Chain A
Amino acid sequence: MSAFLAKRLLIGLVTLIVASIVVFAVLEIVPGDPALLMLGMNATPEALEALRSQMGLDQSIPVRYFNWIGGMLMGDFGRSWTYSSPVLDLIIERGIVSLPLAILSLFLSTAIAIPVGIFAASRRGTIADSASMGAAQIGVAIPNFWFALLLVYLFAVWLRVLPAGGFPGWGAGIWPALKALIMPSLALALPQAAILARVTRSAMLEVLGEDYIRTARAKGMSRRTVLWRHALRNAMIPVLTILGLQFAFLLAGTIIIENVFYLPGLGRLVFQAITQRDLIVVEGVVMLLVASVVVVNLVVDILYAAVDPRLRVKA
């Protein structure tokens, strides 16, 4: 097991190194001079030169790469050029919006999808099954930003029960902050819930077809007991895998939704930073997102291995 773990960790590390080189190289060739953007159309050449050396842009590319990597290893992600504050602070400031948003939508999608999936599986072939799976089909097909727009006009403009967007900050209290996250997380959760409901249903059906379930039924256990006690637990393995993958996806998926609701999250940060050519921020956030995907994959791999020893040998 430890050899397996070591190997997985090594692979994760290599992924991160390659990703850092790719990200850095890609952003090197992005056109646009950040100094010029900050000073604008009437900037004098001397002023530009002064600002460039302030930003460290006059150093060579490899020097800047290793400074960056070295800094990140020490927990220093550098200083944002446009915000002139530490990148790590920005990431934390934005992370406390994006992370709760992702968690909330994950929670919502699970809360919607799993009961629906189980319900559909337990009533296979009935109208209820077709209706819920039909709804899931439509849910998968709806673009989340369009759904978000419909929500805004329904709840913020017509009913005026929820704010149209923005984020008051956690300092404003838990409820106002949560209120601002309800619609965005709902918009993010819907398509995920639709996918998850379908996965849950088919996982349940697969488990229900297994021999031990039939045996349990034959032994006289009630349908309900079999469903909840035996089937659900075993069906959860594929469901949890999908959930793990969706979490990383949700973190990145917030780029669009945060734009619709003008939430100051990581997605908006990276999007803004790119248009403002604040490359050091882009690099930091992208690395963070890639790292989170790597970590989630690692956890999923380890969980798999724990469940199924055969996989350990194969890996």
Chain B
Amino acid sequence: MTLVKSVLAATAFALVTSTSAFAQRADLVLGVVLEPPHLDPTAGAAAAIDEILYANVFEGLTRIGQSGEVLPALAERWDISDDGKVYTFYLRQNAKFHDGSAFDADDAKFSLDRARADDSTNAQKALFAAIDTVEVVDPYILKVTLKRPQGSFLYNMGWGDAVMVAPESAATNAEKPVGTGPFKFENWARGSSITIVKNADYWGEPVALEKAEFRVIPDAAAAVPALLSGDVHAFPMAPVGEVLEQFKADPRFEVVVGVTEGETILSMNNGKEPFNDIKVRQAIAHAINRDEVIAGNGMGGLGTPIGSHFSPANAAYEDLTGTYPYDPEKAKALLAEAGYPDGFSATLKLPPPPYAREGGQVIASQLRQIGINLEIIPVEWADWLSTVFKEKDYDLTIISHTEPNDIDIYSRPDYYISYQNPDFNAVIEELDVTADEAKRNELYRKAQEILAKDTPVGFLFELPKIGVWDANLEGMWHNMPVQANDLTKVKWKQ
């Protein structure tokens, strides 16, 4: 076997050296796993839409930077009233939509009103829930009045769902997106690829790339050869699993492991026996060996263990992984205390991503050790959303909650986890009206601690962002604070 490997490696090297070096390239082929259903970021939850268009084709009033910070975008700057209720945005005066029309406050008002209208099909309507009125003060000044102060408002306006659209093209963005970004949409070969090209009339710093093609490669098996053969230059979220080692060892490639906002959890149906019993949940928490789950998570054994619902990259993060350490004996004892000395049987519904389908098998094996027999049921996304998320027809499931700063989901009434704790809800309510950074972080820590202790779900790991790209490429995002592939700074090394 080693012989085969060395022959292989030799062949690979020979081929590398034989391929001619490219000078001054300005084209890029990026691999993406999922094809977007359409190209309107304001009318769909699919991350695939933002992964292509966010920051490249569409821009919002604000935008989220690589470390999750809020940056100015179409709003050059803003003022916040002392009561935290009135936001005055000063808009860029030289921004233009790709169809040539100028961007002004009327467009901004249209975009926000459209997103929060009664017949809106915006997938994140809650982002706009705090908005009371939107007024055009002047062609380049927009005043937004909130019903109540909201600490996360500027962050919310940086989401892909809050990008600015023009009234003339809003209805046709699904097929032919028209934004203000540094790239223009060029072509969508359905089922195959989406191409964007440089926007010569961009208001800001021009991009280095002339053309970028997002190629849809849904199969992990196809992603590896596509990268190795050079068909695809970069895979920002590379589904390469264990083959990562191979890429790391290959000088042609750069492998960057970054963080996302994806808290990967073993969700438990708290509204159902036996998971409504905290002892059962604690037993499960003690039975989970996070290191082993991560080692078998289908993502090359990468991922940071988490003990609560918070991203380790966030300033307010607190390490709570020691709350319920791996201890099968204690887990069995807790199960017996809860009235299940011989364990019980339950189902584990797994959506398509490898972290669920692969990690779920490790979890099932671990829970079997303490007498909990899990029947694994693989489900498609459509099925998961209907039966698990909406109808709460499940026992256990594994899911990565990739929305940034979404610890508040545990306070939502009627949420699929069915966790109820008034103390936790109080913390979240306070957070919503607090704008002071230090105070917010304090509250975030408190919320994390409550969750870690109550363990409404099994906290597993923070989803890694595994990027593999050509070693000559620079400016790719290392982290993924929002679902995006911001290409504005990407270029080929000279």
User: Chain A residues in contact with chain B, CB under 8 A?
Assistant: 31-34, 36-44, 46-47, 50-51, 54, 82-85, 90, 93-94, 149, 152-153, 156-158, 160, 163-167, 169, 259-262, 264-265, 268-269, 272, 275-277
Contact = CB atoms under 8 A, between A and B. Distances in A.
Nearest to B215: A166
B190 A42 contact: no
Contacts of B35: 272
Contact of B383 (A32, A43, A153, A156): A32
Contacts of B387: 31
A149 to B, nearest CB: 7
10 contacts: A32-B383, A33-B385, A39-B123, A44-B126, A47-B122, A84-B37, A165-B226, A165-B231, A260-B222, A272-B218
B386 A32 contact: yes
Nearest to A42: B124
Contacts of A261: 222
A41 B380 CA distance: 14
Given A40-B123, A152-B225, 10 more contacts: A31-B387, A32-B386, A38-B123, A39-B44, A47-B121, A90-B190, A166-B215, A166-B226, A264-B189, A265-B191
Task: List 3 A-B pairs, minimum CB-CB distance, nearest first.
Answer: A40-B45, A264-B191, A32-B382
A38 B191 CA distance: 17
B367 to A, nearest CB: 25
Contacts of A276: 37, 381-382
Contacts of A46: 118-120
* Residue with the highest number of chain B CB atoms closer than 10 Å, among A31, A41, A42, A272: A41
B229 A160 contact: yes
Contacts of A153: 225
Contacts of B215: 166
B389 interface: yes
A48 B15 CA distance: 52
Contact of A164 (B11, B38, B226): B226
Interface of B: 8, 11, 15, 35, 37-38, 44-46, 118-126, 174-175, 189-193, 215-219, 221-222, 225-226, 228-231, 352, 380-383, 385-387, 389-390, 403
A41 B385 CA distance: 7
A82 B385 contact: no
Nearest to B172: A84
A114 to B, nearest CB: 32
Contacts of A160: 15, 229-230
A83 B188 CA distance: 11
A268 B125 CA distance: 33
Contacts of B381: 37, 275-276
Nearest to A34: B382
B383 A42 contact: no
B219 A166 contact: no
Contact of B385 (A37, A163, A262): A37
* Residue with the highest number of chain A CB atoms closer than 10 Å, among B11, B215, B383: B383
Contacts of A34: 382
Given A43-B45, A46-B118, A47-B125, A277 B192 contact: no
Contact of B191 (A41, A84, A94): A94
B51 to A, nearest CB: 14
Contacts of A36: 382, 385-386, 389-390
A313 B140 CA distance: 84
A270 to B, nearest CB: 11
Contacts, number: 147
A42 B410 CA distance: 13
Contact of B126 (A42, A264, A269): A42
A26 B46 CA distance: 27
Contacts of A33: 382, 385-386, 390
Contact of A260 (B8, B44, B219, B228): B219
A137 B11 CA distance: 33
* Residue with the highest number of chain B CB atoms closer than 10 Å, among A34, A46, A261: A46
A275 B389 CA distance: 17
Contacts of A269: 191
Contacts of B231: 163-166
Contacts of B191: 93-94, 264-265, 268-269, 272
B210 to A, nearest CB: 17
A165 B221 CA distance: 11
A41 B225 contact: no
Nearest to B125: A44
B226 A85 contact: no
B459 to A, nearest CB: 18
A90 B174 CA distance: 15
Nearest to A163: B231
B325 to A, nearest CB: 31
Nearest to B35: A272
Contacts of B222: 164-165, 260-262
Given A82-B38, A165-B222, A275 B382 contact: yes
A41 B389 contact: yes
Contacts of A169: 189, 192
A148 to B, nearest CB: 10
Contacts of A90: 190
B18 to A, nearest CB: 9
Contacts of B389: 36, 41
A94 B190 CA distance: 8
A156 to B, nearest CB: 5
Contacts of A47: 120-123, 125
B35 to A, nearest CB: 8
A15 to B, nearest CB: 29
A46 B128 CA distance: 14
Nearest to B416: A41
B280 to A, nearest CB: 25
B388 to A, nearest CB: 10
Contacts of B123: 38-40, 42-43, 47
A281 to B, nearest CB: 11
A269 B35 CA distance: 12
Given A40-B44, A157-B225, A259 B219 contact: yes
Contacts of B226: 164-166
Given A41-B45, A164-B226, A260-B219, A31 B383 contact: yes
Contacts of B126: 42, 44
Nearest to A90: B190
A262 B386 contact: no
A83 B38 CA distance: 6
B242 to A, nearest CB: 16
B192 A264 contact: yes
A46 B231 CA distance: 43
A37 B403 CA distance: 16
Given A31-B386, A272-B191, A262 B216 contact: yes
A13 B390 CA distance: 41
A82 B225 CA distance: 29
B120 to A, nearest CB: 6
B219 A157 contact: no
A169 B189 CA distance: 8
Contacts of B386: 31-33, 36
A81 B325 CA distance: 46
Nearest to B19: A160
